[in-house]
């Protein structure tokens, strides 16, 4: 395949760079806002990295050289379901406009963009319609596919949308061909090292917290099914209203008749104190949604039916320092009832316990780094690199910065699979030109001989 030139916008660790470099292509321009990542990128790839792309496009767009491919994993937070979902109203959402301006200025033959899948649904698909129209107005044929590393044998659940465009049409390319590369097998244990020396250990407080929840689980008789709904310990013994009425609209004397977190009486407390002794999700100024009512109802009923088995350990759970530690998400169904057999996360929504089949998505916050429970440690940086198909590159030295970068990175293997198919028409055209040139030379030789 002929060497093509590409630019890498919002470059991060260089997931696009690694994929296209391995296909034999050349990066001629990169930009990244974060100064730490700019330094790391330069160390990894030996290319100068420019800063704020908005300023570059506004004041000196001509420094972006001619190129064949534009790559951009533009910021996903404005469109993420985990965020505020402001989309293009968010300043970072308008960074797509900088991509459009560069495409208009340099007219590369191709582009590959990456983002969260929700971008295609945001604002009743209006955001996607505007984006697609802008790209097509420039002459590009556009298509998209949604993939996760686990689709291709990499044990990480991380759905992302990959948007491709070509000025030469997409008759030569189909995401159906990418779908054929999917595999059902994912050998997660090949991605897990045995007690790596540089892995961050699980703090003692977290270990003790897990021991309490293990005691909770152990005390429940085997014939009693563990809840599939989120276990909210604060509801064990609570009686505050949550259906027709809810705490915020009740006056102090009315609320004093009820019990809050773990059955604590609200009698004799000020309204402010009463609310402070309720679960954080109950301190809202509007009626509870149906799903929240359902979970509260399930938890109170579960405690009522199993109180005699768990009330002692629930008292200890009530003393844990965070409400997020007082919640448990048991996502392993009828699996062995040993927390340390699984992959864990300490999340705001609770301690999540999941099967050892794939890792949850690496995200840009260090509070959700997956935990290899049977080794009482967090995922190592090297394991994180494997899950993003970024083996062999350097990461920021700081642990938090490293996992933030991994959480924002694009999976290099998926980019490579798409790129290899997308750029095939260039190779075919070159073969056609060479073939026609050879045919022309043969004719000239034939004419000379005559």
Catalytic positions, written as ranges: 76
SS3 for 141?
strand
CA–CA dist 9, 49 (Å, integer): 10
Contact predicate 278/269, CB 8 Å: no
Contact predicate 116/92, CB 8 Å: no
Which residues of 160-305 form beta strands (DSSP E)? 160-166, 231-232
Strands 141-147, 160-166: pairing is: antiparallel
- Which among 188, 106, 162, 187 has a CA at the least distance from the CA of 416? 162
CA–CA dist 63, 16 (Å, integer): 21
Contact predicate 159/146, CB 8 Å: yes
Residue with tokens 């935990």: 371
Contact predicate 388/406, CB 8 Å: yes
Residue with tokens 């057999």: 341
SS3 for 118?
helix
Phi, psi of 219 (to 5 degrees): -75, -15
Within a 10 A sphere around the Cβ of 80, how many other Cβ atoms?
18
Query: By CB neighbour count within 10 A (0-12 exposed, 13-18 middle, 19+ buried), where does 289 fall?
Result: exposed
Residues found in the chain: 450
Contact predicate 74/115, CB 8 Å: yes
DSSP for 67-84, written as a single string? -SEEEE----TTT-TTTT
CA–CA dist 111, 70 (Å, integer): 5
């Amino acid at each position: 395949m002929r060497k093509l030139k590409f630019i890498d916008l919002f470059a991060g660790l260089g997931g696009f760079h690694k994929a296209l470099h391995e296909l034999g292509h050349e990066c001629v321009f990169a930009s990244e806002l974060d100064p730490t990542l700019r330094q790391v990128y330069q160390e990894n790839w030996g290319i100068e990295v420019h800063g704020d792309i908005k300023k570059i496009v506004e004041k000196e767009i001509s420094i972006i050289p001619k190129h064949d491919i534009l790559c951009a994993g533009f910021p996903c937070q404005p469109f993420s379901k985990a965020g505020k979902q402001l989309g293009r109203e968010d300043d970072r959402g308008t960074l797509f406009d900088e991509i459009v301006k560069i495409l208009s200025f340099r007219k590369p033959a191709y582009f590959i963009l990456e983002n969260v899948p929700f971008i295609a649904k945001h604002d009743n698909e209006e955001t996607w319609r505007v984006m697609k129209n802008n790209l097509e107005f420039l002459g590009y044929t556009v298509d998209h596919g949604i993939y996760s590393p686990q689709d291709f044998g990499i044990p990480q659940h991380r759905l992302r949308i990959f948007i491709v465009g070509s000025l030469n049409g997409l008759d030569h390319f189909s995401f159906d061909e990418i779908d054929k590369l999917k595999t059902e097998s994912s050998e997660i244990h090949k991605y897990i090292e045995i007690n790596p020396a540089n892995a961050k250990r699980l703090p003692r407080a977290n270990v003790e917290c897990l021991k309490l929840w293990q005691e909770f689980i152990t005390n429940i008789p085997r014939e009693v099914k563990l809840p599939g709904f989120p276990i909210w310990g604060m509801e064990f013994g609570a009686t505050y209203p949550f259906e027709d009425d809810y705490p915020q609209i009740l006056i102090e004397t009315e609320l004093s008749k009820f019990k809050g977190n773990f059955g604590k009486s609200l009698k004799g407390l000020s309204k402010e104190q009463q609310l402070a002794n309720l679960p954080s999700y109950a301190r809202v100024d509007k009626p509870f949604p149906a799903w929240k009512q359902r979970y509260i109802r399930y938890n109170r009923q579960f405690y009522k039916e199993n109180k005699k088995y768990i009330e002692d350990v629930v008292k200890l759970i009530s003393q844990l320092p965070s409400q997020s530690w007082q919640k448990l998400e048991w996502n392993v169904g009828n699996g062995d009832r040993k927390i340390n057999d699984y992959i864990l996360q300490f999340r705001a929504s609770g301690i999540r316990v999941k099967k050892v089949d794939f890792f949850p998505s690496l995200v840009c916050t260090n509070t959700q780094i997956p935990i290899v429970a049977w080794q009482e440690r967090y995922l190592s940086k090297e394991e994180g690199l494997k899950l993003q198909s970024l083996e062999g590159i350097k990461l920021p030295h700081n642990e938090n910065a490293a996992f933030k970068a991994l959480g924002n990175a694009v999976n290099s293997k998926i980019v490579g699979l798409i790129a290899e198919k997308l750029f095939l028409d260039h190779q075919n055209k070159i073969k056609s030109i060479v073939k026609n040139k050879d045919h022309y030379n043969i004719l000239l030789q034939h004419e000379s001989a005559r």
